[in-house]
C-alpha cells in the first residue's frame, strides 16, 4: 500500500505562506491543511522526494512525518469546499450539489494533483476578471492550464475554441477529464511547452503561472495574440508586479489595470491594433 508523509512547514509571515502554497500546488501535493502558524502538506513518499528538490525551501523550517495509511479520497473530499466567485460562477467537486443561488455558472472540478481550484487567490482573480472580458465567439489560449478551470469557464462564457497546454502529464489528463465532466466540446488540451506550440493569433490569452515563466514568455507570447487582443496574467506577487509589467511593456503590451487579493496580483494587458 502506498505510503504518505505529512510535511509541517513553520511560517514566518503571510508572504512566505502565499509563496509556499502556490509552489506546493504545482508540486504534486495530495492535500494541504492551513493552520494559524503553519501549513501541513501531504505527499506520497516518492512524490515528496521528487518535489522537495524542486521547491524553494530556503528559510523555511519544516518537519517530515510518516503518516498512517488512510482513505485519501475521503480526506480530499473533506478539505475541498465549493467556491463562489463574486456571485458569478460556482466551483464545486462532483460530490457537491449545485449552488442554491440562481444564475451562477456551474463548474465541476476534480483537481487531483493539478493546480487551479479557485481556492487560490490567483485563480480566483483570473476568474473574476474573466467576467469583464467578452469571450463570445473568441479564440482563447490557456497557457499552463492546470485543471482547465479557466478553459472551462471560457467555453461557458461563449468562446468558439480554446487551446490549452501544460507541461505536466497529470495536469493534462486531469484537464481533459474536467472538460468532459463539464460537457465541454471546444477545448483542446495537450502536453506541450510554449516553444512546441504552433503560433496562432488568439483573441485572448490566459496565463496563471509564475513569475519566472511569465518573464520568459513576454516576447514569445506576442506571436500568439492578435492585435487588439487581451492578455490576462496572474501568479505574480505584489512586489513583483512592476518587474513583470516592465518586461511586458518593453515588448509593446499596454497595461490596462491590475487587481490584488492577499499578496497576489492579476494583471490585464492588451496589444494595440
**23 carries a ligand binding annotation:** no
Q: Residue 115 has what pLDDT?
A: 57
**144 carries a ligand binding annotation:** yes
**166 carries a ligand binding annotation:** yes
pLDDT exceeds cutoff 90 at 149: yes
- Answer whether 80's CB lies under 8 Å from 108's CB: no
Q: Residue 195 has what pLDDT?
A: 95
Cβ-based neighbours of 220, under 8 Å, separated by 6 or more: 194, 195
DSSP characters over 162-183: EEEEES-HHHHHHHHHHHHHTT
Instruction: Say which residue, 114 or 30, is predicted with more confidence.
Output: 30
pLDDT class for 77, splitting at 50, 70, 90? low
Q: What domains, with CATH codes, occur in the chain?
A: 4-76 (3.30.70.980), 119-271 (3.40.50.150)
Distance CA 273, CA 261 (A): 31
> Cell triple for residue 254?
499596454
Distance CA 9, CA 240 (A): 24
Q: Residue 114 has what pLDDT?
A: 47
Q: Residue 73 has what pLDDT?
A: 55
Q: Residue 211 has what pLDDT?
A: 84
The predicted-structure confidence for 196-228, as pLDDT tens digits, reads as follows 999 999 999 999 988 888 999 999 999 999 999
Q: Do the bridges between strand 187-191 and strand 161-166 make them parallel or antiparallel, or are there none, so unpaired?
A: parallel
**69 carries a ligand binding annotation:** no
What average pLDDT does the structure give for the chain? Answer: 88
The predicted-structure confidence for 229-268, as pLDDT tens digits, reads as follows 999 999 898 989 999 999 999 999 999 999 999 889 999 9
Amino acid at each position: 500500500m502506498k505510503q504518505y508523509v505529512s510535511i509541517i512547514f513553520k511560517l514566518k509571515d503571510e508572504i512566505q505562506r502565499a509563496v509556499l502554497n502556490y509552489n506546493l500546488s504545482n508540486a504534486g501535493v495530495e492535500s494541504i491543511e492551513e493552520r494559524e502558524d503553519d501549513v501541513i502538506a501531504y505527499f506520497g513518499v516518492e512524490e515528496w522526494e521528487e518535489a522537495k528538490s524542486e521547491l524553494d525551501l530556503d528559510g523555511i523550517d519544516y518537519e517530515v512525518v510518516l503518516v498512517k495509511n488512510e482513505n485519501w479520497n475521503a480526506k480530499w473530499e473533506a478539505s475541498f469546499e465549493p467556491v463562489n466567485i463574486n456571485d458569478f460562477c460556482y466551483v464545486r467537486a462532483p460530490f457537491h450539489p449545485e449552488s442554491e443561488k440562481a444564475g451562477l455558472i456551474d463548474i465541476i472540478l476534480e483537481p487531483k494533483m493539478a493546480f487551479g481550484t479557485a481556492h487560490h487567490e490567483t485563480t480566483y482573480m483570473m476568474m473574476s476578471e474573466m467576467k469583464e472580458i467578452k469571450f463570445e465567439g473568441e479564440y482563447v489560449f490557456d497557457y499552463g492550464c492546470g485543471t482547465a478551470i479557466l478553459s472551462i469557464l471560457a467555453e461557458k462564457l461563449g468562446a468558439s475554441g480554446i487551446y490549452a497546454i501544460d507541461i505536466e502529464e497529470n495536469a493534462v489528463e486531469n484537464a481533459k477529464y474536467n472538460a468532459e465532466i463539464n460537457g465541454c466540446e471546444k477545448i483542446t488540451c495537450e502536453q506541450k511547452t510554449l516553444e512546441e506550440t504552433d503560433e496562432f493569433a488568439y483573441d485572448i490569452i490566459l496565463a496563471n503561472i509564475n513569475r519566472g515563466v511569465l518573464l520568459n514568455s513576454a516576447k514569445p507570447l506576442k506571436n500568439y495574440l492578435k492585435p487588439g487582443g487581451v492578455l490576462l496574467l496572474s501568479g505574480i506577487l505584489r512586489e513583483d508586479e512592476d518587474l513583470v509589467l516592465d518586461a511586458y511593456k518593453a515588448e509593446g503590451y499596454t497595461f490596462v489595470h491590475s487587481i490584488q487579493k492577499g499578496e497576489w496580483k492579476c494583471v490585464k494587458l492588451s496589444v494595440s491594433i
